[in-house]
């Protein structure tokens, strides 16, 4: 019963209105006095409560002496509320958007906490109309796997660079195995994760073991371009490394002071 009351309250009913309506579903037609007695609504308030339910169309009066009340059947009430809410949402969606100030494309949104960042990542993937670009680690890769498969089945193209998970497949997948993952993780101060969609929007996040995740999201075309190019560069470099050989790639930067600094973010010693 408590759960039903909570859900009805979400739809705009007061606690007393919920109790009165539920009581009428169980017992009707009854007088206002009987509603108060059976439902626990104070007698001093019961007719005000019943009046509000009448205004909502949730109950009706029965011509009698004294007046009695009956509820609108539950299914009809739910259908009526659903239709009313749909109409309100459609109206607000249309009219609020006309009032909204046009935002500059360089607005950057900040997101904090692992939960909120993951929600934004899933939302980005879900909103994609044509393609998704990913640079991602586990466990985030595991969280998005089912949604990625769903979007691929819907015709969305997905390209991914996956770190430290050689068996994970997320669309057209490449694995960052040309460099030890801990080198990239230390240089970036965490596990940098990028999600870009439709060459229109990008989310850049960082997951670190000792701190809460953070992310920035933007439609700024320059940042979207840079992020996608970052992923493309990693993919191309990884494929080139396969052709050249891992040992040769490692010696290429480990023995050059400048490249060592570029790759690791540390001075050559």
Residues 14, 70, 59, CA angle at the centre, nearest 5°?
Answer: 40
Contact predicate 72/107, CB 8 Å: no
Closest alpha carbon to 19 in 37, 34, 41, 47: 41
Q: For residue 190, name the pLDDT band (cuts at 50, 70, 90).
A: confident
Please name the residues in contact with 19: beta carbons below 8 A apart, sequence gap of 6 or more. 5, 39, 40, 41
Question: What's the distance, CA 262 to chain centroid?
Answer: 36
What does the pLDDT read at residue 127?
A: 95
pTM of the model: 0.58
- The rounded distance, in Å, linking the Cα atoms of 132 and 228 is 10
Say if residue 212's pLDDT is above 60. yes
Q: Do 120 and 203 form a contact (C-beta atoms < 8 A)?
A: yes
pLDDT of 182 over the 70 cut: no
Q: How many Å apart are CA 187 and CA 263, to the nearest integer?
A: 8
Give the lowest-confidence range in 133-137, 155-159, 207-211, 259-263: 259-263
Q: What would the two tokens of residue 267 be?
A: 């001075």
Give the confidence band of 258 by pLDDT, cuts at 50, 70, 90. confident
Task: Decide which of 69 and 240 is more confident.
Answer: 69
CB atoms within 10 A of CB 116: 14
Domains and CATH numbers, the chain: 2-94 (1.10.10.10), 108-264 (3.30.870.10)
Whole-angstrom CA distances from 230 to 49, 74, 98, 148, 233 are 62, 56, 36, 21, 5
> DSSP states of 87-102 as a string?
HHHHHHHHHHHHHSPP
Q: What is the pLDDT of residues 8-28, one digit of tens each?
A: 888 889 999 999 999 999 988
CB 165 within 8 A of CB 182: no
- How does the average pLDDT of the chain come out, rounded? 86
CB 50 within 8 A of CB 14: no
pLDDT digit string, tens, across residues 82-129: 998 999 999 988 888 777 665 555 688 899 999 999 999 999 999 999
- What's the pLDDT at 1? 78
Of 265 and 73, the structure prediction assigns the larger pLDDT to 73
Average pLDDT over residues 132-141: 91
Whole-angstrom Cα distance, residue 12 to residue 15?
10
């Amino acid at each position: 019963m408590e759960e039903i009351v909570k859900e009805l309250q979400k739809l705009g009913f007061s606690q007393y209105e919920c109790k009165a309506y539920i009581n009428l579903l169980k017992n009707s037609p009854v007088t206002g006095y009987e509603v108060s007695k059976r439902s626990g609504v104070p007698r001093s308030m019961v007719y005000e409560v019943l009046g509000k339910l009448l205004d909502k169309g949730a109950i009706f009066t029965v011509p009698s002496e004294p007046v009695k009340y009956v509820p609108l059947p539950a299914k009809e009430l739910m259908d009526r509320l659903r239709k009313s809410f749909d109409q309100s949402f459609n109206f607000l969606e249309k009219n609020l958007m006309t009032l909204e100030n046009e935002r500059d494309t360089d607005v950057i949104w900040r997101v904090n906490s692992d939960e909120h960042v993951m929600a934004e990542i899933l939302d980005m993937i879900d909103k994609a109309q044509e393609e998704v670009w990913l640079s991602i680690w586990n466990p985030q890769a595991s969280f998005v796997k089912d949604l990625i498969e769903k979007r691929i089945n819907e015709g969305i193209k997905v390209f991914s660079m996956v770190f430290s998970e050689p068996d994970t497949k997320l669309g057209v997948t490449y694995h960052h195995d040309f460099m030890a993952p801990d080198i990239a993780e230390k240089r970036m101060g965490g596990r940098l994760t990028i999600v870009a969609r439709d060459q229109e929007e990008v989310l850049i996040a960082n997951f670190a073991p000792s701190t809460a995740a953070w992310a920035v999201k933007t439609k700024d075309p320059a940042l979207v371009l840079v992020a996608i190019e970052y992923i493309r560069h990693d993919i191309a470099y990884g494929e080139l490394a396969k052709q050249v050989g891992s040992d040769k790639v490692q010696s290429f930067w480990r023995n050059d002071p400048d490249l060592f600094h570029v790759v690791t973010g540390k001075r050559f010693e």
